Structure 1
Amino acid sequence: MGSYVAHSTIVKNWREHPPSSYSLKIDKLSQFNLNKYESRRFLSGGYNWRLAIFPKGNKADNGSGFISMYVEIDSTNLVSRPPTEVFAYLTFLVYSKKENKYLSIHVWGLSQVLPCDTFNDPKKGFIFDGEQCEFGVDVMVVSPFTKWEVASFNKTFDYPKFSWSVKNFSELNEKSYFSNRFSMGGRKWTLRLYPKGEKAAGGKWLSFYLKLDYDETLTADEKIYVRAHLRVRDPQGSNDITDTSTLTIGNRSRGGGWGIIRFLSLAKLRRAYLDNDDSLNVEAEFEVVSETKYSPVV
C-alpha cells in the first residue's frame, strides 16, 4: 500500500496548566551564550527524552529569528535496539508572566486525513465486511509535572580571577604541573601547565589548561557550562596573551576541562614572559559558571 501524507494544522493558544512532562527555566538569560541547551533526561511513555532549546534559533532548520524547541529521544540507555518508530503527541509551551499563562503550540486535527476516492475504493480495504469501517484516536491525559530543572548563568563573582606564579620556570623538569585548587562559581578548579608542551606541541610550545578538580563529583546527566579566559601575564604589563572559550563539562569528562596545546611558543615565552625571578605568571578569569537545580527524581 502506498503512503498518504496529510497536512496538519498548528494551533496556538493560551492555557493556565503548567507543563505536564518537563519544565525548564533558564536564569540570567543575558549570560546565556550557547547556541543550544539540552535538558536533563526525563521519562515519558517508557522512553527517555531531552528538551532542546535554541534561544537564537536553529539556523540549520530554517529557524533564524525564532525560538527553536525540540524533544530528542535518548537512545543511549535503551535495553533493546531502538524502535523504528516512536509516536508522541507534542505540545511546546512558553510562559508569559504578563499573561500568567503558557503559550501552547500543538497539533490539533488533520484537515486532510485521506482522499474520499481512496477511502471508498474497495481495493484499499478501508471499507470491509460489507459496510464496516473503523476510526480511532490516541489521547494522552496529562498530569502535573514533577520533573524540572533551573539553569542559572550568573556572572557575579566576589573576585573572578585566580593567579598562579610558577617559580623557577626555566628549571622545571616534570611533564606537567598543577596549581593549588581554587573555588569559582561553587566548583573547585585547578590550572595545569606543560612547561615543554604536550607531545603534540612538539616541545616548542607552552600547553595551558583549566581543569575541573578531580574531587568534584557530577551526576550521570549533569553538565557545567563555563566561559573563561586563560592568560599568560606580561611582566611589563602591556601585552598579555589571552584565550577565551565557552566549554561544557559533563560526567564523562571527569577532571576534564579546556585549554590550548599551543598556547605560547617557548621561544617567545623565554624572551618576553618570564619576570626577573624566572617566574611565569598565569591566571584564569571567569565570566560564567552555570549552576543547575533539578528535581530529585528524573
Structure 2
Amino acid sequence: MDCDSKTFTYIWEVNLDEFDRVSNLYSPPFSSWNGSVEEPWQLQFYPHGKMSIASSCLALFIVHRKLHHVEMDYTLMLINQKDENETLSVDKHSTFENSEDGFGPGPCIDDDRLDSPPSEGIYDPDRGFLVDGKIKIGVRIPTDPIPIKRKVDNMVSFTWDLSLDRYKAVPNEEDLLSPKFQTINNGEKNTWQIQVYPNGVVPELEGFLSLFLVHRGKDAITTQFEISLVNQDPTKSYRYTMEDTFSHDLNGWGEREVIGRRYLTNNTGFVFGDNVRFEVRIPLDDVSINKLEKEQAIVPFVWEVPLADMTSPTGEYLLSPKFMTWNSDESDTWQIQLFPNGIKSEKKQFVAAYLVHRGVKKVDTSFSLFISNQNEENTETVTMENVKFKYDLHGWGANAMVKRSDLEDPEKGFLFDGKKIKIGVQLATDHIPLKKTDSVMVPYTWEVKVEDLKLGTGKYLLSPNITTWNGQNKETWQVQLYPNGLSTEDNKQVSLFIAHRGDNEVTSRWSVSVVNKDPKKTESRTGTNLFGYDLQGWGSRTFIQGSKLRDESEGFIFDGKVKIGVELPSDNITLSIDNECPVIKEAPACEKCPAVVDSPVTKATPAGNPYDSPRPSPAGNPYGSPRPSPAPINASLHNLYRELKLKTPDGSEFSINHIMSFESIEKLISNLMRLSGSSSNYQPSISSYKHID
C-alpha cells in the first residue's frame, strides 16, 4: 500500500485457489481522506466475469461504503507481477451516491479473455498476471493526508445510544446533548458532551445529521479526537478525526453534514435495537475515562414496614412506595418487592426481597438491597452489578434475604421500635435527588366498555374529570383515548394521552397504562412534562395495537371492559373523580356516555415505537420536540359550559348544569328574574355576571 499527499494506491492479492468456485469477492476495507472525513471503500471482483460486462474486460469495481455524495477520479488496475510495464489500468470518473453500487469495470483487452480462470486468457501463467495461483488487482484514488499528525497511544472511547424515537422528534436547528463524560489531561479534568442536530444545524442542512464534540468549561483546550456515527458493519461507520482548539463553553467541532436522516433505519445498519449509536475517542492521561453517571450520588431509599403488615402467605408480596432516579434528563421509577413469607414453599422460612423497575423500558444498573439492623455490622445486604431490568415489575434480589424468625426476634436487631423493619436500596442518581413519590402519586382507573371502542379514526373518548391538589390549587385532568388512532398515519394503533383542563401552566409527573391481567404485560408510559393550556396532553399516538387491545386472549379485556390506569401527584388529598361520565356531553343525564367527539385536523407526527419513552401527542411540527395533544375539542365549545356559576346584580347565586350558549343563558336568567318579580324590562348580558369558576 503506497500513499502520498495526493494519491493512495491499494493493491489486493487474490488467491484463486481458495476461490475457484466463488462468483463475487469483496476486498478488505480501506480508506481515503477528504479533509478530516474518512471515506471507506472496498473492491468488488467477479473472477468468472459478470453477464453485463464483456469477457474482454476485468469485472472489477470500486464500492464506496458511505451514504453520501462523492465525485472522484480513480484508476482501476490489473498488476503484471513479472513485468510492471505490462500492468493494465483504466482511468475512471464516477459519482457515488450510496453504499451499495460499485463503479467499473476494470481494464479491457480487445479479443482477449479476462473472465476464464484458472488457465485461459489473462490467467495463463506465462502472461505474468497469475503467479502461484494469485493475481493482484488494485485502485489508485485521491486522498488528503491522514489528519492525525502525531501518534496518541492512550485513546479511550465514550459511547452514547440515543433513542431513535427521540432522535426523530427534533426539528431543524435544535440539538440533543449526550450525558457528560470526563477525561484527565495534564492533570486537569475536562468535561465533554456529544452534540447532535438530528435534522441539521442550519436551515440549508434540513434532513441531514450534524454531529459535534463540545467542551464544557471556560478554559481553552487543544486535543485530537475521533467522533463517529456507528454502523453494525464497522466499515460503514462515519468517522471524523480532528485536532482542534475548544476555546469556550459549548464550543464544538465536528461534521455539519454526516448523513441523510432517512438512512437511519434497520436496513442500513445504523440502528442498534431502538437506538442510534454515537462514539467519541479522545486521548487522556493514564486515567480511564470517567462517565459522570459513574460519579452519581448513591442515594438510599428506605421503606419502613410494620411487622403487622407482613402477613401475606407464601408467594404473595408487598410493594413499597415508588421512588425515582434520574439519568441525565430521563427518570426511572422503582419499587421494592417484599415476600414476607418467601416466594416459594421450599423457602417460606425466609424473607425474599427484590428491586423492581416500573415501566417497559429496559434499564441496566447496579444496586445494593439491604435490611437494616440496629447493629450496622449485621445489616443484611445484597449487591448486584450491571443487571438488566427488561420489563415492568422485572426484579433482581434475593429469595432468602433473612430468616423470618430472625426478623421477628428482638434480640437479633432487625426490629425498630419493636414493631417494624427497615428495608432499603442504594441506587445511583444524577443531580435531581432520589425522591419518594408514592405519598403523592395517586392512582385512578377508568373502565371503558369494549363496545364504546368502535369509533372511527380521529374520534376519541374523554374520561371523567380527575381532580388533584397542588398545594391549595385544584388541578383537573382527563384521559383522552383514540380507540382507532389519531389519524390514518397511526396504522390502527390506539392513541392515549393524559390532558390537563384549565388555562394555567402545570408541570407534573404522570403515568398512563393500559392494564393487563398479567402485570408484566401492562402497557405503560410515564413522564414529567409542562401542560400549558386547556386540553394539552402528553402520551403516545402509538400506545398499543388496536387489534391487540381488542383480542381477549391478549389479556386486556376484563368482563367486557378495558381498564385505563392513571397515576398523578396530589398533595396529601385523595384524588377525586367529579363524575362517572366524560365531562363533555350533550346532557347531564349522560344518555351518550362516554361522549364521542371529532378531533381537530392536525398534522400527524411520525408513528413511533410503542415501547419507547413517552411520546407527546400531536399538534404542529411533525418532527418537533415534544408537542401537546390536539387543541380544544371543538371551536364552538369556547362559549359552552357544563356548569356555570353566575351571580346576578342583586347578589343571588345559582348554577346552570346544562351545556348552553351565552344567548341561551341570558334568556334563562331573564325568565328567572321575571318569575322572581324583577323588572321585565331588565335585559341581562354576560358582562352583568361574575364567572365564579
Q: Normalising by structure 2, report the TM-score.
A: 0.24
Larger RCO (alpha carbons 8 Å, 6+ apart): 1
Larger Rg: 1 or 2? 2
